[in-house]
Amino acid sequence: MAEFRESKIVETTPYLGNGSNRVFATPTAYRSGTIRIFVNGVMYAADDDYFGWIESSATTIEMFIAPRVGDGIAAFYQEETSIFGGDDVKGTPFSPTDVC
């Protein structure tokens, strides 16, 4: 019989936008395709016209448009080294990365 686990969501304070940064890093690597991006508590799809984004690397996303000053940006994702299951979902504030 399959074992079911209760999902856990980690509540954190999100990174606040500065109006120019579009590149954000997670503190741990995430499994591709599992990351969910939130701006001001609203989840945005990768192909959204305003707050869309791409996975630049296993720890970085790049948004199409820089969030405004004070916008809260956060992500929930499954760690790359985890096995599938609700207990493996992580919540994170982003940290800005230097853009070359």
Which pLDDT does position 25 carry in this prediction?
86
Mean pLDDT by 10 residues, the chain (100 residues): 40 75 87 88 92 93 94 85 54 46
Give me the pLDDT at residue 5, please: 40
Q: How far apart are CA 82 and CA 87, in angstroms?
A: 9
Report domain extents, the chain.
Answer: 15-96
